[in-house]
Amino acid sequence: MSKNRALLLFTQGLLFLLGSQMAYPLAESAGPGGVNVKALHELGYTGRGIRIGVLSQRHCRTSHEAFFEKDSQGNPTGDSHAHWYDPTGDVLSPYEPYWHDTSLAGIAASRGGREYPACRGIAPDAEICSAKVTRRLSQTDPNRTTNWLWFQDALNHFRADRCRIVVTGIQLPNDYDRLFPFTLLYDYYAYTDDIFFANASGNDNASITIFGTSFNGLTTAGLITVEPEIYRRVGTAVNPGPTLDNRRKPETAAPAQNLWVPTSSGDTAWKNEGTTRGETSWAAPHTAGVAAVLLQYADQSEEPDGGRSVVLKAVLVNSAVSDIQDKNGLDTAGRIWHPQRGYGRLDAKRAFSILSSPKIVPETEIAPSRQPAGWAFQSLSAGKAHIYTWTAVPDRARLVLTLAWKRRVRWLDRFPPNNIIEKGELTGYLANLDLLVEDEHGRPVFSDTGTLDNLKKADILIPKTGQYRLRVVNRSFTESAEYAMAYEIIEPPPDAPEDVVDKKVSDALLSFF
């Protein structure tokens, strides 16, 4: 046993005796009290065949043992499943292994180490492409610059490398939020190439920062532990929502404390990362990893639409666990969306149960006895509506429903040089979809007719037996939309009220505590 391993075991034992929290391996953040993805690993879904692009300050250490297959003795074999790309043209340092980016990539896709076999990432068999988008001004200058074209070059490389997921471990100053040029760029690639963007909500700012502001990505806040293996509180560093233009971000939350991860100081170097601040760089790769695991399943299923990024977004939000404490330790379970934790903690097992259920189409009857969970992917023309029905019975009268669609971004190449996206050449168009639930007499049970967001979620308790109508209505005059819908019919809580409960997310929920 190495000195480092012996010291780790001794330290963990000492902390346990003192009653303090231990340094957990990645296996704990992947467990039931984390994102609950280990249950899918046991089914054989580990992200194999999926490539994740890591866009950050520098590079992950591609030669680290965490990114190799292992033989029976735990020794690395074969080639690394991580590689790097430099869009900055940095002649002095084209390849820069960095602790932050190595740890971020490890959370998403570590395969463990010889002495750390339990430190496997959320999608341990996924592949990593690491691209840096910052560069030193000189060899000795600690200040670093970034460039709009470097981001574009990195995204083009990810596209060519068939990276279907991009996780961003960098945030830009709040000044960029008001114009949203980078948000448009991310939404353009998400729309045209169907890339799933896993974005961090950002740290230590007054509101969500770039790149968490994107319409088409999924923005994640960071959680810390309240007891061993249970991530139920928002970290103090998490940027609260909404965005500056008052959209409901973040959407999800994931573990961001006590993670035993690879680092860049050596090929076998590991460290404990993540504090009670809940740094969101550690939360976002959990989201990327869960998406990779679900994508592997979708690729093997017979339904081609299951792997669409907007479908993944809908099922992840619909299955999120809302029983989270805010930064001050106050419970937030009574609210669908909360500015600090979004719709709740990721739950990969619940998301899988939705995605592995049959796809439904308009005019479908959602009967609990036949299909307690499911999803839809449809195109809805301007001014049209799709209708689904739900047969509610008293013992299963809770419907959790999520609607998501993408902002369409158009690139008009108006400025030289040609074939390069300039900041003024992208325009976003957002369809206005309403989500409505009505009883058999046409009376509203739930309605979300807001115009800012492209994601809406309902959690409805209905004790009265009857047939209810779910309507997705496109209020736009000219803009069509491809939307995804996910639903679960689950047992109501034991203290459910006897009358109808409307869980509509109102403007009041957008205020800060």
Cβ neighbours around 2 below 10 Å, total: 10
Q: Cα separation of 214 and 249, whole Å?
A: 9
Q: Which amino acid is at 208?
A: I
**pLDDT band at 334; cut points 50, 70, 90:** confident
> What percentage of residues in the chain have a pLDDT greater than 70?
87
Q: Mean pLDDT, to the nearest integer, of 490-510?
A: 44
* pTM, rounded to two decimals: 0.91
Q: If you average pLDDT over every residue of the chain, what do you get?
A: 87
Q: What pLDDT, on the 0 to 100 scale, is given for residue 37?
A: 97
Q: Match 């989270």 to its residue by tokens.
A: 324
Q: Mean pLDDT, to the nearest integer, of 328-353?
A: 96
Q: Cα separation of 178 and 108, whole Å?
A: 31
Q: Cα separation of 69 and 373, whole Å?
A: 36
Q: Cα separation of 450 and 227, whole Å?
A: 38
Asked if the model's pLDDT at residue 186 lies above 70, the reply is: yes
HEC secondary structure over 156-195: HHHHHCCCCEEEECCCCCHHHHHCCHHHHHHHHHHHHHCC
Q: What pLDDT, on the 0 to 100 scale, is given for residue 504?
A: 33
Asked if the model's pLDDT at residue 13 lies above 60, the reply is: no
- Give me 44's structure tokens: 């054989």
Q: What is the pLDDT of residues 265-274, one digit of tens each?
A: 999 999 999 9
Q: What pLDDT, on the 0 to 100 scale, is given for residue 141?
A: 55
Q: Cα separation of 160 and 132, whole Å?
A: 16
**pLDDT band at 494; cut points 50, 70, 90:** low
Indicate the burial class of 24 (C-beta count within 10 angstroms; 0-12, 13-18, 19 or more): buried
Q: What pLDDT, on the 0 to 100 scale, is given for residue 135?
A: 83
* 442 in Cβ contact with 418 (< 8 Å): no
* 200 in Cβ contact with 168 (< 8 Å): yes
Indicate the burial class of 230 (C-beta count within 10 angstroms; 0-12, 13-18, 19 or more): middle
Query: Residue 322 forms beta bridges with which residues?
Result: none
Q: What pLDDT, on the 0 to 100 scale, is given for residue 136?
A: 72
Strand locations in 334-454 (E): 365-366, 373-380, 385-392, 398-405, 408-411, 426-429, 433-438, 444-448
Asked if the model's pLDDT at residue 81 lies above 50, the reply is: yes
Q: What pLDDT, on the 0 to 100 scale, is given for residue 369?
A: 59
Q: Does residue 512 sit in helix, strand or coil?
A: coil
What strands lie across the sheet with 365-366, from one edge to the other? Answer: 365-366, 385-392, 466-474, 433-438, 444-448
Q: What is the pLDDT of residues 84-141, one digit of tens each?
A: 999 999 888 899 999 999 999 999 999 999 999 999 999 999 999 999 998 876 555 5
* 469 in Cβ contact with 389 (< 8 Å): yes
**pLDDT band at 509; cut points 50, 70, 90:** very low
Asked if the model's pLDDT at residue 19 lies above 90, the reply is: no
Q: What is the pLDDT of residues 446-457, one digit of tens each?
A: 999 999 999 999
**pLDDT band at 387; cut points 50, 70, 90:** very high
Q: What pLDDT, on the 0 to 100 scale, is given for residue 144?
A: 66
Asked if the model's pLDDT at residue 507 lies above 50, the reply is: no
If one compares 466 and 96, the residue with the highest pLDDT of the two is 96
- Candidate ranges 22-36, 172-186, 242-256, 410-424; pick with highest mean pLDDT: 242-256
Q: What is the pLDDT of residues 199-248, one digit of tens each?
A: 999 999 888 988 999 999 999 999 999 888 899 999 999 999 999 899 99
Q: Cα separation of 29 and 369, whole Å?
A: 34
Q: What pLDDT, on the 0 to 100 scale, is given for residue 146?
A: 78
- Candidate ranges 170-179, 239-248, 501-510; pick with highest mean pLDDT: 239-248
Kind plus residue range of the DSSP H or E element containing 228: none
* 85 in Cβ contact with 95 (< 8 Å): no
Q: Mean pLDDT, to the nearest integer, of 468-485?
A: 95
Strand locations in 192-335 (E): 196-200, 218-227, 230-234, 252-255, 259-262, 270-273
Asked if the model's pLDDT at residue 371 lies above 80, the reply is: no
Q: What pLDDT, on the 0 to 100 scale, is given for residue 20?
A: 33
Asked if the model's pLDDT at residue 262 lies above 90, the reply is: yes
Q: Cα separation of 352 and 167, whole Å?
A: 21
